[in-house]
């Protein structure tokens, strides 16, 4: 949309320039002076401390998925402008990741396929014009943006989830012609014009296969932590004969009775009927989408069992299951997205419903909708709601920063919710109305591990080795034997207080600096693998 309202806005906002590079750097008592995350190695310092905790032994490591979407479509989040030189684009990547790390986020959901195009070298789809200024034009000098994002995120101990738009073939913000290899030219029989955009027809098997091939190509070639798709299945309906659709879905109190332009899938529908199909048209459309979701999940499992699959549907569920009082746009009837079925069948690892309304807006109340999705989650998958942080703006419908902080609090009040995703990173980069400051102070006082996904595997990695020695300015912690681990969780004891940190497993040494002359007197460490499984703890004292 709606989904990412910004992702369909014609007036995108870009990250503020120069605001986040090096954010969080500097000496932090008890944690080390902090060289750049991209230069990890022996002697590097740990990130900022979390809340202080008392007790003879530290508690369990904090767990929460804290992420932000980074939109590339229409240059909403990155790059700030198309056709910037690679050096500027790379600087913006580092600024975004440094700000995310300083806020204690632990994942980025990066849009790698805005409209059947790519922000990485691909034999299947052309380079995106939002990256290079012209569709099909390669970056000069050559570089691989997705590989850069992954490497820089992992160097900071953060996950990188690759976000794909499954069916959109051309965005209304596009300004250059489709390249020869674009699906609209290479497979015109599967592409439909609908309003100001082009869409691959979900009823065409070749369209679904193309999307599946693109996704699995990235899974095979890149060290991503997750695959993510948004809410654009069948397009948001537009008024006949119509302008752009989708923007009104968040605000419409009901589905309305205005005439809608029919999506032009008549050829595929007629073939289905002539082949003996018995479903009605709406059920057939849902079946088309269901088949792709199931194929993506199964395909990922076969390629790399640790790569998680997440979907972020529109936040209001199917009409016949809604709680009393909930009103609004029906993704089930209009987008043909049966997210309830995907949860029921376990075809995803996390659901991020876009709960883009205030807590107190009763027809779309954030807590009520969150509880609805929890009630649909019979297989115990992760529910990590999407927060509309970018609605903090200068409009009459602007959120306050406190609204987002309170929504984080609502998620934490539910025992079966252990994460959330901000749409989008631009709002956090710009610190709109102080939202980043408030989140850092009230919600993200320290780092957290990504929650485990035991249905994908629960074997813990071996315990690491650890030794400590006095350093000139603190306690040097030498780490080893981090087999099968991506992170090392570190509890450090200062006096009677425990403080928590997470570092990438490739770091050989972490220096815990003195806190106003008081050194850390002991540490407890554990290794954490890609699925969040944690090894037995190992303790060491000075």
CA distance to 361, 377, 413, 414, 416, per residue, from 371 (Å): 15, 10, 11, 8, 10
Percent of the chain with pLDDT over 70: 87
Torsion angle, alpha carbons of 320, 322, 324, 328, to 10:
-100
Least confident range of 95-99, 304-308, 468-472, 489-493 = 468-472
Distance (Å, rounded) from C-alpha 45 to C-alpha 458? 30
Burial class (CB in 10 A: 0-12, 13-18, 19+), 329: buried
Burial class (CB in 10 A: 0-12, 13-18, 19+), 477: buried
pTM (2 d.p.): 0.90
Q: What is the mean pLDDT of the chain?
A: 89
**Is beta strand 509-513 parallel, antiparallel or unpaired with respect to 44-45?**
parallel
- pLDDT over threshold 50, residue 3: no
Which residues is 44 bridged to in the sheet? 510
Q: What is residue 145's three-state secondary structure? A: helix
Chain centre distance of CA 76: 15
How would you label 48-63 residue by residue, b for 16+ Cβ within 10 Å and e otherwise? bbbeebeeeebeebbe
522 against 201, higher pLDDT? 201
pLDDT category at 250 given cuts 50, 70, 90 is: confident
- pLDDT over threshold 90, residue 194: yes
197-200 sheet: strands from edge to edge? 168-170, 197-200, 191-194
- pLDDT over threshold 90, residue 392: yes
Q: What is residue 227's three-state secondary structure? A: strand
Percent of the chain with pLDDT over 90: 81
Write out the DSSP string of 182-213: SHHHHSGGGEEEETTEEEE-TT-HHHHHHHHH
474-480 sheet: strands from edge to edge? 44-45, 509-513, 474-480, 465-471
Distance (Å, rounded) from C-alpha 191 to C-alpha 200? 4
Distance (Å, rounded) from C-alpha 279 to C-alpha 296? 23
Q: What is residue 335's three-state secondary structure? A: coil
518-530: average pLDDT: 94
Distance (Å, rounded) from C-alpha 542 to C-alpha 480? 17
- pLDDT over threshold 50, residue 8: no
Q: Report the pLDDT value the prediction gives residue 496, as an integer from 0 to 100.
A: 87
Distance (Å, rounded) from C-alpha 479 to C-alpha 491? 13
- pLDDT over threshold 70, residue 241: no
**Tens digit of pLDDT for each residue in 166-192?**
999 999 999 999 999 999 999 999 999
Query: Could you check whether the bond before residue 268 is cis, i.e. omega within 30 degrees of 0?
Result: no
Q: Report the pLDDT value the prediction gives residue 53, as an integer from 0 to 100.
A: 57
315: closest CA among 381, 387, 207? Answer: 387
**Is beta strand 308-311 parallel, antiparallel or unpaired with respect to 350-351?**
parallel
Q: Report the pLDDT value the prediction gives residue 247, as an integer from 0 to 100.
A: 54
425: closest CA among 456, 466, 387, 478? Answer: 387
Crossing angle between the packed helical segments 266-274 and 281-303, to the nearest 10 degrees: 90
pLDDT category at 516 given cuts 50, 70, 90 is: confident
Q: How many CB atoms lie within 10 A of CB 211?
A: 23
**Tens digit of pLDDT for each residue in 432-455?**
999 999 999 999 999 999 999 999
Least confident range of 15-29, 42-56, 311-325 = 15-29
- pLDDT over threshold 90, residue 417: yes
pLDDT category at 54 given cuts 50, 70, 90 is: low
Six-digit token pair at 199? 């869409």
**Tens digit of pLDDT for each residue in 266-294?**
999 999 999 999 999 999 999 999 999 99
- pLDDT over threshold 60, residue 238: yes
């Amino acid at each position: 949309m709606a989904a990412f309202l910004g992702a369909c806005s014609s007036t995108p906002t870009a990250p503020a320039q120069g605001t986040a590079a090096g954010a969080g750097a500097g000496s932090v008592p008890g944690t080390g002076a902090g060289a750049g995350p991209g230069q990890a190695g022996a002697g590097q310092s740990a990130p900022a401390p979390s809340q202080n905790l008392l007790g003879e032994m530290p508690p369990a490591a904090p767990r929460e998925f804290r992420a932000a979407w980074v939109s590339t479509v229409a240059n909403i989040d990155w790059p700030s402008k198309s056709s910037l030189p690679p050096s500027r684009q790379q600087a913006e990547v580092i600024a975004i990741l440094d700000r995310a790390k300083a806020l204690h986020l632990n994942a980025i959901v990066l849009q790698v396929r805005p409209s059947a195009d790519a922000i990485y070298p691909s034999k299947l789809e052309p380079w995106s014009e939002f990256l290079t200024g012209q569709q099909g034009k390669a970056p000069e000098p050559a570089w691989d943006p997705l590989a850069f994002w992954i490497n820089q995120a992992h160097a900071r101990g953060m996950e990188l989830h690759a976000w794909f738009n499954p069916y959109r073939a051309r965005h209304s913000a596009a300004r250059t012609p489709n390249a020869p290899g674009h699906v609209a030219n290479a497979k015109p029989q599967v592409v439909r014009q609908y309003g100001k955009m082009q869409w691959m027809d979900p009823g065409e098997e070749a369209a679904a296969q193309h999307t599946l091939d693109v996704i699995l190509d990235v899974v095979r070639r890149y060290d991503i932590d997750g695959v993510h798709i948004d809410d654009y299945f069948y397009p948001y309906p537009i008024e006949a004969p119509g302008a752009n659709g989708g923007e009104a879905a968040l605000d419409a109190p009901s589905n309305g009775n205005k005439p809608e332009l029919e999506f032009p899938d008549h050829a595929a529908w007629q073939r289905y009927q002539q082949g003996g199909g018995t479903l009605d048209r709406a059920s057939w459309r849902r079946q088309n989408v269901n088949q792709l979701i199931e194929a993506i999940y199964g395909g990922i499992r076969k390629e790399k069992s640790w790569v998680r699959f997440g979907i972020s549907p529109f936040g209001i569920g199917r009409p016949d299951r809604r709680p009393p009082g909930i009103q609004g746009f029906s993704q089930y009837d209009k987008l043909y997205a049966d997210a309830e079925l995907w949860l029921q069948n376990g075809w995803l690892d996390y659901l991020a419903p876009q709960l883009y309304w205030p807590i107190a807006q009763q027809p779309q109340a954030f807590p009520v909708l969150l509880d609805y999705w929890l009630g649909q989650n019979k297989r115990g998958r992760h529910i990590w709601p999407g927060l509309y942080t970018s609605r903090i703006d200068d409009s009459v419908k602007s959120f306050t920063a406190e609204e987002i902080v309170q929504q984080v609090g609502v998620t934490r009040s539910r025992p079966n919710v252990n994460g959330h995703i901000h749409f989008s990173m631009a709002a956090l980069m710009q610190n709109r109305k102080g939202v980043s400051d408030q989140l850092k102070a009230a919600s993200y006082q320290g780092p957290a591990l990504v929650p485990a996904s035991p249905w994908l595997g629960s074997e813990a990695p071996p315990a690491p080795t650890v030794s400590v020695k006095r350093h000139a300015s603190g306690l040097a912690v030498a780490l080893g034997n981090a087999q099968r681990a991506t992170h090392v969780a570190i509890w450090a004891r200062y006096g009677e207080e425990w403080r928590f940190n997470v570092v990438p497993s490739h770091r050989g040494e972490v220096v815990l600096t003195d806190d106003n002359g008081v050194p850390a007197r002991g540490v407890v460490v554990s290794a954490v693998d890609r699925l969040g499984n944690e090894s037995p703890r190992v303790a060491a004292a000075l």
